[in-house]
Structure 1
Amino acid sequence: MATDGDQRDGLRVIAGRYRLEKRLGRGGMGVVWRAADQLLGRQVAVKELTVDDALSDDDARLRRERTLREAQAVAQLHHPHIIVVHDVVEDGGRPYIVMELIDGGSLADRISRRGPVDVGEAARIGIALLSALRTAHEAGVLHRDIKPANVLVEAGTGRVVLTDFGIAQVAGATTLTETGSFVGSPEYTAPERMSGARSGPPSDLWSLGALLCAALSGESPFRRDSLGGILHAVVSDEIRPPAQAEPLLPVVRGLLERDPERRLGAAEAELMLRGFLETGAVTGGAGTAQSAAAASYTPTERDVPWPPPPEPAAPPVPSSTRGPLVAALLVAAVAGAGVSAAMLLFHEGGGAAPGPGATTAVSASHPSDSAATTGPPSATTPPASSGTPPPATTRPRTAPSGYRLARDPAGFALAVPEGFTRDPQGERVFYMSPGQTFRLGIRLSETQTGGPGGVLRRAAAEGPSTNPGYHDGRVTDTTHSGHPAAFWEFTWKGFSAAEGPRHTYDLCWEEDGRLYDVWVSAPVGKVREAREYFDVAVDTFTAT
């Protein structure tokens, strides 16, 4: 074994005091050891932080200083659900953090061995972590890597402990990991961090929302087969909490709100979870519009985190730059790995892409591949659709019986069935039936190369990636109220076995220099109702 510090009994001793006895685990930031504090005669955990040999001596020194300074700040946090930091030392030019030793495994280990936890246990874990985060945030410390692997559960007592502040950020300080690369676990990382925007306490709360889903179902709702798929799911895909989260849905949906300004706060979320443990139902937090609205959720209203604001909130990153930013993040994440991934920033059921160049394939080993999907659409005539485009009619200003006219703050109005509720998802707006059986989506954007037909054909080409089990997809050129349009119809297997196969109708058209996209997705056994909802939505759609 390579040695630093003194040698005693064949084991490494650091700072003349801590004898490293057994390696407990390894993470992205270093190695954790079981150690003996020879001065106080107790068992401790020692985290040996990784040193980048590629850094210059000056950069390595600055990194060590930042590491020690931030670890010292975390050591000032005193909370029963935050790991206790006993000491911060340097030995042989390498920083070490000495912490309490928790007799018990991580939440990730528990899920792996015994399966997901029940809803009561998830609420208990959530309460503990929310209380811990409130203390950390009040002290100006962000965790930035909340995930099941960084939550310990003490054997015997069940005490929940938030650990591994190794990539934490202290307010007013340059973070120890600030080297121009992304740090964290993508499945649990907030969209504003993915998009390169400044992060704050709400980013940790997003991660906690994903953690609650993982605790209840066994995996994060943003888990995908590739890094590109994960980034797409976090930044722009439809958010689908697992069915097991339904009793806590107001909290989960509130924490997984993409706009950090509208995300549920820690105090409100904690109060709602405590109410669930006491009464068996989620109750509201104290005083905020978000918590009051979230508390009004029922299992049949699971599709909307809370009512939309009077004016649309600006996204954390302009839509014109979101694609390049995420693509740049993906390049950084896979650089040197020799792998490639695609950012597929589409809505469920394809439709209009986010903008020119937003669908970008990048490869660390083959940079020339990055432009593979940015060329003009194919001129090949698509096969005739088995369905028919919606008729071009004069758009009524009133809603038919059984519908209501929704005047959306995103800049449009249309008739939606009674009982459908609004769920904004980044650049898209959804109106969904109870239980999300029917999903009506709308997206407004700038015109794109190839017009509506080019947009939908590019989306259809990516159909197998964006819609699992995609088949029988057909794009047909048409018109809508005299404007160029394209109609896309396809079937796919749904996002889960419980959801089952689904069918999608999608119409994209140009009008007055803008691109409009309206689609409806529904189970294959309910296509007649879906087509009615789709036709009414298209026929009544107006820009406002």
Structure 2
Amino acid sequence: MVTEGENARLIAGRYRLDARLGRGGMGVVWRATDLLLGRNVAVKEVAADPALSEEEARRRRERTLREARAAAQLGHPHIIVVHDVVEDGEHPYIVMELVEGGSLADRLAAAGPVEPAEAARIGLALLGALRTAHAAGVLHRDIKPANVLLEEPGGRVEPESGGPLAVHQRAHARGATNNPGYRNASVAAATHNGRDAALWLFTWDGFSAAEGPRHTRDLCWEEDGRLYDVWVSAPVAQAEEARGYLDTALRTFVRTGG
């Protein structure tokens, strides 16, 4: 049950949503209080997408819950702990450890690129967290500065849980969305080996901790029931080089495996 208080909502009779911490493509993250245990937590309210059919929304909801439950099994000092997953009125909420600190994107915006040693520390912490997740079959799919939480300078580094379930949309979808960390995004219909494809162009801050934003060209297509994705990126000043890199990659791309 979701109940509305004067200034806060109560989720599942237990989690009180106290203040909004942020909003992203997948929903809203709240600072909340677990009234049963008397502790502060973070609650991700997974947003509904009105463009999805009822069946698509159901599948997305089930996949969100499945991935959150899988993430709850992970144990690593640089992975946010998932405490609970609740569903109310077919609306999922993910209850997580509350990290007192801003994101890597916040730090970069306030102070500019970090020192190489700090960038290496952050990178190694993320690598360790991702290795643990991948070993358990869990993929984050949206590592970027806005989704990397830092407790304090020199403290823990954690990829935010519950990232988008897919990076790409089909070319006939509603089009590109400029999510935090991604700018100047566009998508256009294309072809590859006679198959329909989607060509994405965007600027992203994924490497900004060390060298600044990059321009990316990304082609994805479906073949034999699978989604393939080939992308290249280059510093913004060398954006045209990315075009040549992508053409070369596509010419040499060879599918392997079953």
Q: Same fold (TM over 0.5)?
A: yes
1:347 aligns with 2:244: yes
1:216: which partner in 2?
210
Matches of 1:241 and 1:134 in 2, distance apart?
29
Which among 20, 28, 32 is matched to residue 23 of structure 1?
20
1:100 to 77, 97, 100: 97
The answer to whether structure 1 residue 426 and structure 2 residue 249 are counterparts is: yes
Aligned to 1:153: 150
Which whole-Å deviations, capped at 9, do the CAs of 1:227-275 have from their partners, x for residues lacking one? xxx32798456x4599xxxxxxxxxxxxxxxxxxxxxxxxxxxxxxxxx
Aligned AA (1:102)? V
Structure ranking higher in strand proportion: 2
Given candidates 4, 11, 14, the residue that maps to 1:14 is 11
> How far does residue 74 in structure 1 lie from its aligned partner after superposition?
1.1
Q: Residue type of the partner of 2:47?
A: T
Secondary structure class of the residue paired with 2:94: strand
CA distance in 2, matches of 1:345, 1:240: 9
Please state how far the C-alpha of 1:99 moved relative to its aligned partner: 0.6
Q: How far, CA to CA, are the matches of 2:163 and 2:231 in structure 1?
A: 25
Would the alpha carbon gap of residues 100 and 146 (structure 1) be closer, same or farther in structure 2, given more than 3 Å must change?
A: same
Deviations 1:293-340 (A, max 9, x none): xxxxxxxxxxxxxxxxxxxxxxxxxxxxxxxxxxxxxxxxxxxxxxxx
Question: What amino acid is the match of 1:60?
Answer: A
Is structure 2 residue 56 aligned with structure 1 residue 55?
Answer: no
Task: Return the alpha-carbon distance in structure 2 between the equivalents of residues 241 and 56 of structure 1.
Answer: 38
Question: How far did residue 345 of structure 1 move?
Answer: 7.2
Instruction: Confirm or deny that 1:115 pairs with 2:101.
Output: no
User: Per-residue displacement from partner, 1:118-171 (whole Å, max 9, x unpaired)?
Assistant: 011011001100000100110111111110111011026621111133225xxx
Query: Which has the larger helix fraction?
Result: 1
Among residues 19, 40, 51, which one is paired with 1:43 in the alignment?
Answer: 40
Q: CA deviation at 1:66?
A: 1.8
Q: Report the 3-state secondary structure (helix = DSSP H, G, I; strand = E; otherwise coil) of the residue aligned with 2:123.
A: helix
RMSD: 3.6
Query: Which secondary structure does the structure 2 equivalent of 1:426 belong to?
Result: helix
Q: Evaluate the alpha carbon distance shift between residue 44 and residue 232 of structure 1 in structure 2; reply closer, same or farther with a 3 A threshold.
A: closer
Cα–Cα, structure 1 residues 236 and 151, in superposed 2: closer, same or farther, change >3 Å? closer
Higher Cα Rg, which structure: 1
Residue 78 of structure 1 corresponds to 75
Match of 2:202 in 1: none
Shift of 1:344: 9.6
**Contact in 2 for aligned 1:347/1:428 (Cα 8 Å):** no
User: Following TM superposition, by how much is the alpha carbon of 1:33 offset from its aligned partner in structure 2, in angstroms?
Assistant: 0.5
Displacement after TM superposition at 1:60 (Å): 2.6
Aligned residues: 215
Q: Tell me the distance in 1 between the aligned counterparts of 2:36 and 2:105.
A: 33
Is this contact kept in 2: 1:45–1:100, CA < 8 A? yes
SS of residue matched to 1:141: coil
- For 1:123 and 1:346, locate their aligned partners in 2 and report how far apart those are by CA, in whole Å: 29
Range moving further from structure 2, 159-168 or 129-138: 159-168
- Check conservation: 1:24, 1:32, Cα contact below 8 A: yes
CA–CA distance in structure 1, aligned partners of residues 109 and 138 of structure 2: 30
The alignment partner of 1:23 has SS state of: strand
Instruction: Give 1:428 shift.
Output: 9.0
Distance 1:58 1:232 in 2: 28
Deviation of 1:178 after TM superposition, in Å, equals 8.4
CA distance in 2, matches of 1:91, 1:121: 41
Counterparts in 2 of 1:109 and 1:49: CA distance versus 1, 3 Å: same
2:213 and 2:235 in contact (8 A); partners too:
no
Deviation for aligned residue 1:83 = 1.1
Corresponding residue to 2:131 among 126, 131, 134: 134
Cα separation, partners in 2 of 1:179 and 1:126, compared to 1, 3 Å: closer
Give the Cα–Cα distance (whole angstroms) in 1 for the partners of residues 101 and 218 of structure 2.
35
Q: Is the 8 A contact 2:17 2:32 kept in 1?
A: yes
Q: Give the Cα–Cα distance (whole angstroms) in 1 for the partners of residues 50 and 251 of structure 2.
A: 45
Whether the 8 Å contact between 1:232 and 1:345 is mirrored in structure 2 is: no
> Structure 2 counterpart of 1:112, which letter?
A
1:231 corresponds in structure 2 to 217
C-alpha distance in structure 2 between counterparts of 1:162 and 1:51, whole Å: 23
SS for the counterpart of 1:31 is strand
CA distance 1:48–1:236, shift in 2 (3 Å): closer
**Alignment check: 8 A CA contact 1:82 1:162 kept:** yes
Partners of 1:29 and 1:231 lie apart in 2 by 23
When residues 346 and 125 of structure 1 are mapped into structure 2, their CA distance, relative to the original with a 3 A threshold, is: closer
For 2:42 and 2:63, locate their aligned partners in 1 and report how far apart those are by CA, in whole Å. 21
- Any stretches of 5+ residues in structure 1 without a counterpart? 169-174, 188-194, 197-209, 223-229, 243-342, 355-424, 430-544
In the TM superposition, what whole-angstrom CA distance separates every residue of 1:67-113 from its partner, at most 9, and x where no partner exists? 11111111111111111111101113211111111110000000100
Q: Alignment identity in percent?
A: 55
User: What residue identity is the alignment partner of 2:213?
Assistant: S
Pick closer, same or farther for the CA change 1:11–1:142 going to 2, 3 Å.
Answer: same
Does structure 2 retain, via aligned residues, the 8 Å contact 1:236–1:427? no
2 CA distance for matches of 1:93 and 1:78? 28
Q: Is the 8 A contact 2:42 2:95 kept in 1?
A: yes
For 2:208, the aligned partner's letter is A
